[in-house]
Amino acid sequence: MIVTPPCCLPAQLSQIEIISSVRDEWVDEPFRISFRSAMLMTSTMTSLKNRVSEIHMLESNWDGYDAVVPSDKVIKNTFRFLDTLFAFGFSDILDPENVVPTPYGTIDMDFETSNGLVSVEIGANQVGFFTEFSNDEDVLSDGIDTDFKEIPQPLMEALLILKETSRRNALSA
Amino acid sequence: MLLVPKSIASDEPCVRCVMHPYGFKKNKIQKEALMPPPQKTDVSLLRLRYTTKEFCVRHGRSIRNGNSTFRCLATLTVQDVETSNELSRTSSEKVFPIMSNIIYGPMHKGKYVLDADVYVDDPNVELPMHADLRYNIPFPHPNGGEVATRMRKYAHTLANKMQVIHMEEVDGQV
């Protein structure tokens, strides 16, 4: 299924790409790197939101085994949580393909790096998660009440471990 | 006529028909492929020793609907389930552990045929090779938007043990 992004986005992105190519020749390397990573995150964010829009368009029995569709509230929470993840710089370790509906109406987000997995579930009022780190020091949360405008502390710690250890491993390789 | 035994051998491959786009990704079966519908405990499987791969493929193709298409066949054994149960038991110190079992469940027109003996080529039973992966507690209510972390983790452990035995071409890719 193809989901068309909001009409203003392609125009904005092409302008950003033009600016990026001009800057490449004239600006310092650190600025260039941060500018490029910011552009990459914007593009990832668009893909992530398109993925959620795609899930929102599903009909009942979408898996052929009587699955239900996530409610509008769960969809709204997921969009809101994506914005929060973006603000904290975690959206770059979330592949849009890893945003998946569950058969019972919640949405899974699996953050994966070379250091392991943090599997997050977005519900109507709670976020739950479990980890699968390569060092076996795993954490599990049955559900934390949240408004999705912030990342609950235990989840924040798990995502930081996943991201930072993976970054350190990449630098030392 | 070959009788379908009521007990399932520990190494017997049981097939799940996995759907695209949410059941399979990057050569891995996703945990969602082993989750039952809301408030249910059962996930349908087909016992490969009492049917053929070709039948399973045809069955998988028959499940397709507007949102999903058949993607692959993947197998699970009682042994895989028991290993996952043990892991769940040891990691659930203060809570009720999530567990499952694979149980006998021939079906005809959507109903179980459990009273009489069932044979592989029984003309009166549509799915003599049908079995269920049955969880010990039902998955959440459809309207609650309730999270189910331990059930997801259990399904994840189980999905990682599955072996893909057939892939369909989807969007021009195998």
Residue A152: count other Cβ atoms within 10 Å of its Cβ. Answer: 17
B67 reaches A (C-beta below 8 A): yes
pLDDT by residue (tens digit) across B7-61?
999 999 999 999 988 899 888 999 999 999 999 999 999 999 999 999 999 999 9
Write the residue in A63, A105, A140 that is nearest to B19 by C-beta: A63
3-class DSSP assignment, residue B66: coil
Write the residue in B19, B39, B147 that is nearest to A121 by C-beta: B147
Cis bond upstream, residue B21 (ω within 30):
yes
Q: Which residue has the higher pLDDT, A152 or A15?
A: A152
What's the pLDDT band for A38 if we cut at 50, 70, 90?
low
A112 reaches B (C-beta below 8 A): no
Radius of gyration of chain B (CA): 16
Q: State phi, psi for B119 to the nearest 5 degrees.
A: -110, 155
Distance of CA B118 to the CA centre of its chain: 20
3-class DSSP assignment, residue A109: strand
Contact in structure between B66 and A61 (CB atoms under 8 Å): no
**Per-residue pLDDT at A17:** 45
- Report, as an integer, the average pLDDT of A50-54: 96
Q: What is the pTM of this model?
A: 0.86
pLDDT by residue (tens digit) across B80-134?
999 999 999 988 667 889 999 999 999 999 999 999 999 999 999 999 999 999 9
Contact in structure between B22 and B65 (CB atoms under 8 Å): no
Contact in structure between B120 and B140 (CB atoms under 8 Å): no
In one-letter notation, the amino acid at residue A15 is Q
- Dist. CA A42–CA A77, nearest whole Å: 19
- Residue A136 DSSP symbol: S
Q: Which of B35, B137, B147 to mutate to test the interface with A (most CBs of A within 10 A)?
A: B147
The nearest CA of chain B is from the CA of A11 a distance in Å of 28
C-beta atoms of B146 and A124 within 8 A: yes
Enter the tokens of residue A10: 């392609």
Write the residue in A71, A73, A103 that is nearest to B35 by C-beta: A103
Which chain B residue is nearest to residue A57, measuring alpha carbons? Answer: B67
Contacts of B19 in chain A (CB under 8 A): 63-65
**Per-residue pLDDT at A16:** 44
Q: Which residues in chain A (13-72) have CB-CB distances under 8 A to chain B?
A: 58-59, 61-68, 70-71
Rounded to two decimals, the ipTM of the complex is 0.91
Which chain A residue is nearest to residue B63, measuring alpha carbons? Answer: A64
**Per-residue pLDDT at A168:** 72
Residue A13: count other Cβ atoms within 10 Å of its Cβ. Answer: 15
**Per-residue pLDDT at B173:** 67
C-beta atoms of A97 and B64 within 8 A: no
Closest of A49, A57, A55 to residue A6, by C-alpha: A49
Enter the tokens of residue B162: 């599955």
- Dist. CA A125–CA B148, nearest whole Å: 13
Contacts of A100 in chain B (CB under 8 A): 22, 30, 32
Does residue A2 have a pLDDT over 50?
no
C-alpha neighbours within 13 Å on the C-beta side of residue B17? 22
